[in-house]
Structure formats: C-alpha cells, structure tokens
Amino acid sequence: MSHYTIQPGTNIGGTVNISGSKNSSLPILAAALLADGNNILSNIPNLSDTRNMCELLSLAGANIVNDNGTLHINSRNLTDKKLPLELVNKLRASFLIIAPLLAKCGKVRIPLPGGCQIGARPIDLHLKGFSAMGAKIKQGHGYVELKCNKLQPAKIYLDFPSVGATENLMTAASMTEGETIIENAAGEPEIVDLSSFLCEMGAEIIGAGTDTIKIIGNKNLKSTQHTVIPDRIEAGTFMAISAITKSNLTINNVIPDHLKPVTAKLNEMGFTINENANSIEIVPCEKFKTVDIKTLPYPGFPTDMQSQFMSLMSVADGTGVVIETVFENRFLHVPELLRMGAKIKIDGRTAVIDGIKKLSGAKVRATDLRAGAALVIAALGAQGETEIDEIEHIERGYEDFEKKLTSIGVSIKKEI
C-alpha cells in the first residue's frame, strides 16, 4: 500500500481546478450502454473507480476508446455474461449496469454486494423497483439474476431516497415505453446530470432534482455527446483545506449552487466565501467557530463531506455535534483523528467534537475514500509531519490529488 507524507499547511494559496464528478460519471458511463451508436463523454475524471467501470462496460461488450480523457463508448454488441465478483466488489457502483443490460439484453447476472467500510449498502430498493417494472429476480450462490423480456412502466416509491436506486431505475425507465414514476426519489445534482444525458439520448424526463421523477421511455435511444458536471465533493474538500490552513484559495470549475450546504456551514464558522459563475474563493479567518452538522439527502449537508468537516471541527472553537443519518458506519476516520490528538466521543451515529488548538502529526491510515480525505485535511492543520497509509482509497475519488495539492503549496510526498 502507498502512503503520503504531509507537512503542516503553512503557505497554501492560489488556484485549483476541480475535475469532473466521479458520482456523475459512474451512472452516465453505465447509461451510455443504452444507445447503440458512439456516445462521446467529456470531463470524466481518470480514477480507479471510472477505470473499473469502463472495464465492466467492456466485459459487457462495449467498445471504449479513451481519446485523451474524452471517452468514446460504442455498445452495439452487449452480452449478458456473468459479471466477475472481484470487479464488482472493487466498485460499489457496478450495480448501475443492471439497468442498461436488463433494458437491452433482458437479462443480467451480478454478484450481490459485499459490505463496505461505511455500511452494508444493500440493493434491495433497486431490486424492488426492477421487480415493479416486471423483472423476475433470483438470488443464490452470492449472485442476483434479473430477467425480463420487456420492462413495463411502473409507479415506484423508494423507502429511502437512494441515489443509486434512483439512477438505476431512471436509466431503465428511459428505455421502457410508457410513463414510469419514481416517488421519494433522490435529488442530488448527479441525478440531474444523468437525467440531462438520458434526455439528450431521447428519453423524456420531468422532475429530476425533485422527489418525484416522471420518465417517458424511448425504445430507440440515440448516442449523444455529454460533458459531466464538476465534482462538488472534491470542491468541498478543497474548501475545507483552505479553511483549516487559513489560506486564500480560489477553486475553479465548480457550480456554486451545488455547494450551498457546505458554504452555509463555512459561513457559520466565520469564513467569507466569494462566489463567481464557476469559481469559489475562501477568505480565511484566524479563529473560527465550530458548528453542528446533520447529514441528509440533498440539498441537506452531504454525507460525503462529513468526515472532512469533522477534521475542521477538531481545531475549531467550541464543541460541535455531527449526526450521520445516511450510512450506519461512517465514523472510521475518528480513531485516526484521535491518534492526532482530536477530542471526539462517539455514541452510535452521533459524534461530539471538542475543538482543540492544534492536532499533532502522526502515522495514520485511510480506511475509506472520504475518511482518507479527512486525514489529509487534518494533516494540513496539524503540528509536525503526518504519514497517511493506504492512500489507494483516497485516489479512488480525487484525480491528480497529489499534483493539485502540490500546486497550491502543500508539502506532500507519495511513496509506493
């Protein structure tokens, strides 16, 4: 496993350009299988997650050419071959391939999800929706098989506004003749981006971004071109880096509207945030107050920014409370922050953080993607050197992370 060695962030500043959204790219890559022709996708970040998704699409029969970051995806001859366990286990978003394979080939066999660090992450809501659309579902030997010659439009109520279930069902419904309605749908910006892509291919979708989405499917979707939205979580992570290092950072290629809950919390802490059309500038403040955070589906505070803010709260003035309502086990960064001197107590899904003056650099381990990002933030706000092990988790979701950090003045060394 590789590791980062990071010094305290003393002379950070300048400009950083945000990459395309990982969580928008993954459902759009899967949905590209729906159209026979050549889909051209731009601003897809070069990450292990997106590379694994492309490997999965190729295994399903797609032909993918990467023209310097622009992906050309041709899905003329899809197959319903059994998808490999090791690949699906590496990439949680593999389940998004169910929709196009079921809609186009009428059959898909995929390994059931193994757990992951942050929670069980079942796919029961996905399967309930596909069953409502007429799919016959069989589970056994660690696999789930879905079969249906012709998906039917349906009215689906999601018990929880699951991002993945909303994306999977919206994608399948885009190729299902008739009107499908998804109620209690997720409303994240990535859902809206996927909806734009599906409409560009010929589906008719009303209400993406709200809790009720109507999809009128089209049997003959056409290939198209699409540029993926910027990654709001990468942008939020750099906002937290700017805040903890009390530096003046301009973050380019963002949609400020997607960062409202993060900006609101930083304002509450005492930071001034200047927004332009597609950039955000953080004006530092010497002493900043702590806040209380409760993670919620969009437009609430994003669970994917919870660990990064906990690092910031660890050195803020006062006592703050974090309640994680989305995942059942998303405090794995806490033991690592405690090793750096943070004062945090956990009780179930609630953490109480007593801000201290300075964290102290230590040898720590990235347990998952956003927990790892939180440790980079903590290292920049600490006294003394920090070594972060297992950084493969971090590099799953942050394109050219080490290069971007170096470009804003971070002293970071990567060792394999």
Binding residues (CB under 6 A) for ligand EPZ: these are 23, 26, 92-93, 119-126, 160, 162-165, 186, 303-304, 326-327, 369-370, 397
In angstroms and rounded to an integer, the radius of gyration of the C-alpha atoms of the chain is 21
Closer CB to ligand EPZ, 47 or 353, in the complex = 47
Positive/negative CA dihedral, 288, 294, 298, 299: negative
Closest CA to 241 of 6, 5, 3: 6
* CA 194 – CA 96 distance, rounded (Å): 12
Q: Report the nearest approach of ligand EPZ to the CB of residue 25 (Å).
A: 9
* CA 219 – CA 213 distance, rounded (Å): 19
Q: Report the nearest approach of ligand EPZ to the CB of residue 404 (Å).
A: 17
CB 357 within 8 A of CB 363: no
Q: What is the H or E stretch that residue 196 is in?
A: helix 189-201
> Which one of 105, 116, 199, 285 is the catalytic residue?
116
Closer CB to ligand EPZ, 38 or 117, in the complex = 117
| 43 CA to centre of own chain | 15
Closest CA to 373 of 343, 399, 407: 399
CB 61 within 8 A of CB 78: yes
Structure tokens at 315: 């050195």
Count CB neighbours of 197 within 10 A.
26
Q: Report the nearest approach of ligand EPZ to the CB of residue 370 (Å).
A: 5
Residue, CB closest to ligand EPZ:
164
Helix/strand/coil for 353: strand
Q: Report the nearest approach of ligand EPZ to the CB of residue 158 (Å).
A: 8
Residues with Cβ within 8 Å of residue 2, at least 6 apart in sequence? 390, 391, 392, 414, 415, 416
Q: Report the nearest approach of ligand EPZ to the CB of residue 198 (Å).
A: 16
* CA 177 – CA 326 distance, rounded (Å): 33
Q: Report the nearest approach of ligand EPZ to the CB of residue 125 (Å).
A: 3
Closer CB to ligand EPZ, 22 or 246, in the complex = 22
Helix/strand/coil for 144: strand
DSSP-derived pairing of the beta strands 225-227 and 38-42:
parallel
* CA 92 – CA 94 distance, rounded (Å): 5
CB neighbour burial string for 352-361, b if at least 16 within 10 angstroms, e if fewer: ebebeeebeb
Closer CB to ligand EPZ, 16 or 374, in the complex = 374
Closer CB to ligand EPZ, 122 or 318, in the complex = 122
Question: Does residue 54 have an active-site annotation?
Answer: no
* CA 396 – CA 253 distance, rounded (Å): 20
Q: Report the nearest approach of ligand EPZ to the CB of residue 150 (Å).
A: 24
Closer CB to ligand EPZ, 237 or 250, in the complex = 237
By annotation, the residues acting in catalysis are 116
